[in-house]
Amino acid sequence: MAYFLGIDIGTTSTKTVLINEEGICITSSTAEYILNTPKPGWAEQEPESWWEAVIKTVKDIVSKSEIPVEELKGIGLSGQMHGSVFLDKDDNVIRPAILWCDQRTGRQCEFITRKIGKEKLIDLTCNPALTGFTLPKVIWLRDNEPENYWRVSKILLPKDYIRFRLTGEYATEVSDASGTLMFDVTNRKWSDELIELMELDKNWFPECYESVEVSGKVCKSAAGILGINQGVSVVGGGGDQAAGAVGNGIVEKGIISATLGTSGVVFAFSERPGMDPEGRLHTFCHAVPGKWHIMGVMLSAGGSFRWLRDSLCKDVVAEAQLNRTDPYEIMTKAAEDVPIGSEGLIFLPYLSGERTPHPNPKARGSFIGLTLRHDKSHLIRSVMEGVVFGMNDSLNLIREMNVEINQIRLSGGGSRSELWRQIQADVYNSETAVINVDEGPAFGAALLAATGTGYFNSVEEACKQSIKIIKSYNPVQENVNIYKNYYEIYHSLYNKLKLTFSEISDL
């Protein structure tokens, strides 16, 4: 029996899964680490913490699965997109990685747009300049830390730094490279023209593969540290959303995904690089060779719920620890008793600024409609509903592009809640479904490894064999009607508050 590892370098933890050649998940392991916020709007991590988490999770899986190490045939990598790892000529990390949710690069985005031109930028990369993307981070380093900028020898994305530690190779793949704003998404290669216009060194950027291609082999030193064999194939893998889409079977027309992780993503498969002319949606290469995807991203989806837990529900966390249960279960149970619409309380989930459909780092989270009637249970339900309203913004943009939608598959932490599943069905006014695996991007990365090493003929075949629908949810028409009215109010609030958000931010 052949086995494969999928490793996902997430924002707050690394998850590693082990699957067999039939696409069945055997076991998984997770290790957490810290996200640093040295200034408001900043988000950084030490790349070494990712490597330590990989060591911990892989060794844990090897130990508890007791598989013969010679039967481990491939490794797939996934990870948070857009992050920047700057290496010097000796392969030392120059400074902490700047992450996808970092908002410091507003001025750099304006500079890039002015220098290239908005239309030409979208023509070159299929996307506008956004604060989360990698290129603005590179320009920020040049503007603000020139002593570090002139030391740069290589720029890697988070999962590709782990690839380097595993194999010694500088490499990336098309889906993750698509989010750098330095990639020709249409032609699936680095944009030499844009890199030249921005006066960057093209040698900084690693070789780019398709997601199923073998990009390197596990080197002797990494094999010894991890307790696996030298020479195991490491495939390209995928950015977390593309790999997660593979793990959800979003590899054909008509099926889209709604993922409530730290961020919230609505993801649609595409045969060609279709674009929203206003750049509100992202168009990236898919992890399926020769295919693309369209997606909308909100920055604080499950992150909003985690903020609520950590900031306003500490008593719930204490109760959960005492009863050895999940605090999120207690929170969602309380929300079940609150009427639809939270009795007029609306939450705007812009805790980290926003990306889709409002690319604005100055946007701020808000509760609108608070009264003496509302208590903590209303706040909880309002956050759940507000997050789904934000996801619906992206879904409506995708619908405007006439993308075929027959089913919406739910994933991420939010998909584990029965209440959140039904809220999504009602707000989206569409059938939603959950599948038999909930290992997300790590599972998708493992399927890519199995495909790239020849155990499946295609990504589509891998998904068809391993992924099954286990439960579906249909919208309740009465709920649909109520939510439609609340969503219209929600959707109007951003424009009413946009100036206020800027004034608050400027203070």
Write b or e for each residue in 260-295: b if 16 or more Cβ atoms lie within 10 A of its Cβ, otherwise e: bbbbbbbbbbbeebbbbeebbbbbbbbbbbebbbbb
Per the domain annotation, does 161 fall within a domain?
yes
Among 364, 338, 343, 351, which Cα is nearest to 306's?
A: 351
In a domain, 220, yes or no: yes
Residue type, 200: L
Tokens of 255: 């099926």
Tell me whether residue 115 is in a domain. yes
Give the pLDDT score at 80.
96
What's the half-sphere exposure (Cβ side, CA atoms, 13 Å) at 239? 25
Residue 26 domain-assigned (yes or no): yes
Of 208, 497, 261, residue with least CA distance to 360: 497
Does residue 329 form part of some domain? Answer: no
pLDDT of residue 412: 84
DSSP alpha helices (H): ranges in 239-325?
240-247, 302-312, 314-323
pTM (predicted TM-score): 0.89
**Per-residue pLDDT at 117:** 96
In a domain, 328, yes or no: no
Cβ contact 248:257 at 8 Å: yes
For each of the chain's 507 residues, which pLDDT tens digit applies?
999 999 999 998 999 999 999 999 999 999 999 999 999 889 999 999 999 999 999 999 999 998 999 999 999 999 999 999 999 999 999 999 999 989 899 999 999 999 999 999 999 999 999 999 999 999 999 999 999 999 999 999 999 999 999 999 999 999 999 999 999 999 999 999 999 999 999 999 999 999 999 999 999 999 999 999 999 999 999 999 999 999 999 999 899 999 998 889 999 999 999 888 788 899 999 999 999 999 999 999 999 999 999 999 999 999 999 999 999 999 999 999 999 999 999 999 999 899 899 989 899 999 999 999 999 999 999 999 999 999 999 999 999 998 889 899 998 888 889 999 999 999 999 999 999 988 889 999 999 999 999 999 999 999 999 999 999 999 999 999 999 999 999 999 999 999 999 999 888
Written as one string, the DSSP assignment of 165-194 is HHHS--EEEHHHHGGGTSEETTTTEE-HHH
In this predicted structure, what is the pLDDT of residue 506? 87
Residue 395 lies in a domain: no
What is the CATH classification number for the domain harbouring 120?
3.30.420.40
Cα distance between residue 353 and residue 359, in whole Å: 8
Provide the domain limits for residue 130: 3-250+439-469
CA atoms within 13 A on the CB side of 371: 7
Omega before residue 273 within 30° of 0, cis = no
3-state helix, strand, coil in the chain (%, to 5): 45, 20, 35
What's the first-to-final CA gap in the chain, in angstroms? 61
pLDDT computed for residue 70 by the predictor: 95
Active site residues: 240
Q: Is residue 396 part of a domain?
A: no
pLDDT value of position 278: 80
When divided into structural domains, the chain yields a total of 1
- What is the predicted pLDDT for the residue at 347? 98
Q: Which two tokens stand for residue 345?
A: 């309380």
DSSP label at residue 351: B
Question: Could you give the CA distance from residue 52 to residue 226 in angstroms, rounded to a whole number?
Answer: 10
Residue 196, SS3? Answer: helix
